[in-house]
Amino acid sequence: MKLEVYINSIGSVSVQKTFDDSGFLDEVVDYEGTSVKAVDPTYRDYIPPAAARRMAKGLKMSAVSSHNALKEAGLDNVDAIIVGTGLGCLGESEKFVRDLLDNDEQYLTPTRFIQSSHNTVAGSIALDMGCKGYNFTYVHSNISFESSLWDAKLQLENNEAENILVGAVDELVEHHVTTHQFIDHIKKEPVSREQVLRSGTKGIVFGEGSHFFVLSNQKQDTTYSRLIAMGIYNTLKKEEVSDTILVFLHTNGLTLEDLDGVILGINGDVDFDTIYQDLANGIFQTIPQFVYKHLSGEYDTASGFGFWMANKIFKTGKVPEVIRWNDIKVSQPKRLLLYNQYRGKNHSLVVLEKC
Which residues contribute to the site for another protein (CB under 8 A)? 49-50, 53-54, 103, 106-111, 114
Provide the 10 A C-beta neighbour count for residue 240: 13
Contact of 67 with 11, CB cutoff 8 Å: yes
Residue among 109 and 159 whose Cβ is closer to another protein: 109
Residue among 106 and 235 whose Cβ is closer to another protein: 106
| Least separation in angstroms between CB 62 and another protein | 18
| Least separation in angstroms between CB 107 and another protein | 4
Residue among 53 and 237 whose Cβ is closer to another protein: 53
Instruction: Classify residue 113 by burial, with Cβ atoms within 10 Å: 0-12, 13-18, 19+.
Output: middle
CA distance linking residue 39 with residue 163, whole number of Å:
29
Residue among 49 and 253 whose Cβ is closer to another protein: 49
- Please choose, from the candidates 48, 47, 40, the residue with its C-alpha nearest in 3D space to the C-alpha of residue 19: 40
Residue among 109 and 332 whose Cβ is closer to another protein: 109
Residue among 123 and 203 whose Cβ is closer to another protein: 123
| Least separation in angstroms between CB 123 and another protein | 15
Residue among 109 and 274 whose Cβ is closer to another protein: 109
- Please choose, from the candidates 251, 267, 249, 233, the residue with its C-alpha nearest in 3D space to the C-alpha of residue 336: 249
CA distance linking residue 343 with residue 73, whole number of Å:
35
Taking the C-alpha atoms of 27, 31, 35 and 41 in order, what is their torsion angle to the nearest 10 degrees?
A: -40
| Least separation in angstroms between CB 135 and another protein | 21
| Least separation in angstroms between CB 46 and another protein | 16
Contact of 270 with 312, CB cutoff 8 Å: no
| Least separation in angstroms between CB 56 and another protein | 11
**Range list of H helices, the chain:** 49-52, 57-73, 90-102, 110-115, 120-129, 144-157, 174-182, 241-251, 273-280, 293-296, 303-316
Taking the C-alpha atoms of 311, 317, 321 and 327 in order, what is their torsion angle to the nearest 10 degrees?
A: 100
| Least separation in angstroms between CB 39 and another protein | 19
Residue among 127 and 154 whose Cβ is closer to another protein: 127
Cα-only R_g, the chain: 19
The DSSP call for residue 218 is S
CA distance linking residue 198 with residue 294, whole number of Å:
10
| Least separation in angstroms between CB 108 and another protein | 7
